[in-house]
Amino acid sequence: MTKPYYYARIPYKELFASPSIFPPSANTLEGAVAALHEFFTSPTPRGLPASTAVLSGAGLSVASGLADYRGPNGTYRVNKSFRPIFYQEFISNHEARKRYWARSFLGWPTLEKAKPNAGHIAVADLARLGFVSGVVTQNVDSFHTKAHLSTPAVELHGYLRSVVCTSCRNELPRTPFQEELARLNPRWAEFLAEAIASGALQSESPQERRARGIRSNPDGDIDVPDAPYTTFRYPACPTCLSHPPPRPDGSEGVVEVDDDGAWQPTSSGGILKPAVIMFGESINNQVKLAADETIDGAGRLLVLATSLATYSAWRLAKKAKDRGMPIAIVNMGGVRGEDTFFKDLSPGQKGAEAVRTEILTEQLLPALVKELERSSRPSGMDGASLLSAHNGGAVFKDMLS
């Protein structure tokens, strides 16, 4: 018998074993840059494309002030009572949705103003230089799409910039939805304004927010102990409100709201949820296919700031390994089953076959970009000439002439 969602176990909440560093010199910034330079510039195994796919996780956004799950200072480390909401819980429980949307309402301003950091920008630079062909990210903050619009980024677990109706599947932008939440919950809106004015939500330090009595969790979730979550209200899907969807059995559906427009539990549909994949929810098949194609279209895999604890990410790394792709992992702390990815390495290999390091991405990746730019630039070549030498060089040459 399937256990109810409130008994479901979040996988791998404990720390993984500390990793072995490959090559050993990659335990310093200089050594890690040298190893990754070797990784990117060595020929790929025969039959594989000469490009690299990136698989990223929540740790990449920590430098932007966002919390992660399993990092050394992640939510599972500092907030032992934290449990993310499950899909079935959200769908079936009106009170659980109140709690979710209240906490998301408080967290959205911080997420909305957060920006890609040096790590995201360096990924864009790696793509600009012709080394990265595509990105698969587990993150829902949309920083990859903001940092590199021209490089495909598959958002494996969805995105917080929109909400989606669970009945009609229409999407709505998050900003006007946030405004509607404020209209329906004026006292909560006042509290949020006061929290922002006091600086309680302005700090990029999760530790400082906790000191102010606020728990900052991943994906824009802000927990205020003893907050009256039962008072929170949220709107119905406007499309379903105008045209109620039929019930699963085919009978006529009902979507009802109160005098202010808040969704009522007498409704049979029209529930809005974030456009993210919640725990217990299935990833869309088209998204899975796009992620697989990103891996299949590359000859190397660079894993950034993720413990690969979720199977949806781990299977992509395993797929890369099974294809014979060299793998580099940059993550603070251990990774799920990482021995799988570093079997049978040649003695003394310097990075061409594999790299494993724990250097922070916001430090390592910009330094790597500088080194790749330096080593790729022939003596006397200026920046404009370098751009024309990569990806569509003839087009850039014409534009610059």
Q: What is the pLDDT of residues 125-155, one digit of tens each?
A: 999 999 999 999 999 999 999 998 888 899 9
User: What is the arithmetic mean of pLDDT over 48-77?
Assistant: 80
Instruction: Give the number of other CB atoms < 10 A from CB of residue 92.
Output: 12
Question: Which has more confidence, 214 or 19?
Answer: 19
What tokens appear for 72 in the block? 């050394």
Model confidence band, residue 80 (pLDDT cutoffs 50, 70, 90): low
Cis peptide before 45 (omega within 30 of 0): no
Q: Cα separation of 199 and 213, whole Å?
A: 12
Whether 137 and 153 have beta carbons less than 8 Å apart is answered as: yes
Q: Cα separation of 208 and 203, whole Å?
A: 7
Phi, psi of 275 (to 5 degrees): -80, 45
User: What is the arithmetic mean of pLDDT over 149-177?
Assistant: 95
Q: Cα separation of 275 and 204, whole Å?
A: 24
Radius of gyration (Cα) for the chain, nearest Å?
23
Q: Cα separation of 305 and 231, whole Å?
A: 38
> What are the pLDDT digits (tens) for 83-114?
778 999 999 999 999 999 999 999 999 899 99
Predicted confidence at residue 251, as pLDDT, reads: 93
Q: Cα separation of 388 and 391, whole Å?
A: 8
Q: Residue 161 in 3-state DSSP?
A: strand
Helix (H) or strand (E) holding 18: none
User: What is the arithmetic mean of pLDDT over 334-352?
Assistant: 93
Pick from 369, 367, 354: which is nearest to 21 by CA?
354
Long-range contacts at 280-288 (CB < 8 A, ≥ 24 apart): 280/5, 280/8, 280/86, 280/87, 280/88, 281/87, 283/156, 283/157, 283/312, 287/154, 287/155, 287/156
Q: Cα separation of 352 and 303, whole Å?
A: 15
Q: What is the total residue count of the chain?
A: 401
Predicted confidence at residue 109, as pLDDT, reads: 92
Model confidence band, residue 207 (pLDDT cutoffs 50, 70, 90): low
Given a cut of 60, whether residue 340 has pLDDT beyond it is yes
Given a cut of 70, whether residue 164 has pLDDT beyond it is yes
Alpha-carbon dihedral sign for residues 286, 290, 292, 293: positive
Domains of the chain, start order: 5-9+34-388 (3.40.50.1220)
Whether 206 and 89 have beta carbons less than 8 Å apart is answered as: no
Whether 128 and 389 have beta carbons less than 8 Å apart is answered as: no
Judge whether 157 counts as a catalytic residue.
yes
Q: Cα separation of 294 and 283, whole Å?
A: 16
pLDDT-above-90 percentage for the chain: 72
Given a cut of 50, whether residue 310 has pLDDT beyond it is yes
Active-site entry in 120, 148, 157, 390: 157
Q: Which residues pair with 329 in a beta bridge?
A: 303, 356
Q: Cα separation of 377 and 65, whole Å?
A: 34
Q: Cα separation of 40 and 19, whole Å?
A: 22
User: What is the arithmetic mean of pLDDT over 303-309?
Assistant: 95
Residues 6+ apart with CB under 8 A from 204: 64, 65, 114
How far from chain centre, in Å, is Cα 386? 31
DSSP class of residue 60? G
What tokens appear for 136 in the block? 């698969």
Model confidence band, residue 376 (pLDDT cutoffs 50, 70, 90): confident
Alpha-carbon dihedral sign for residues 332, 337, 43, 57: negative
What tokens appear for 150 in the block? 């021209």
Model confidence band, residue 263 (pLDDT cutoffs 50, 70, 90): very high
Q: Cα separation of 67 and 288, whole Å?
A: 25
pTM confidence score: 0.87
Residues 6+ apart with CB under 8 A from 70: 12, 13, 15, 58, 76, 77, 307, 309, 333
